[in-house]
Amino acid sequence: MRLRLGAASAVLAAGLSPLRSRTRTKVAAGWGGSYNVVVGAGDITGDGKADLVARDTAGNLYRQNGTGKGSFAARVKIGSGWQGHRGLF
């Protein structure tokens, strides 16, 4: 997954590597207004689907569960006070 901050869009790229990607699917837009970090965290819920973790500009941390259909469910707040951290890994 790649987040282009200028366009505030998340793009999934499928292929041999990000540089040799053949297809791209836009999965979200408009994140730049509220989120300042978005991480493809893998399957953190244990349901076999890739999930996201995002931090908003106020330092709140959210999980967005992957649906397995190319989109994500509504966000669930999982923490706060993260505004002092530069990044999420």
Which comes out higher in pLDDT, residue 2 or 66?
A: 66
Which comes out higher in pLDDT, residue 54 or 32?
A: 54
Question: Using 50, 70 and 90 to split pLDDT, how confident is the model at 45?
Answer: very high
Task: Give the pairing of strands 35-42 and 21-29.
Answer: unpaired
47-88 per-position pLDDT tens digit: 999 999 999 989 999 999 999 988 889 999 999 999 888 777
Q: Let me know: does 17 contact 25? Beta carbons within 8 Å.
A: no
End-to-end CA distance of the chain: 14
Question: Using 50, 70 and 90 to split pLDDT, how confident is the model at 26?
Answer: low
Question: What is residue 37's predicted lDDT score, i.e. its pLDDT?
Answer: 86
Tokens 């282009």, residue?
Answer: 4
The amino acid sitting at 5 is: L
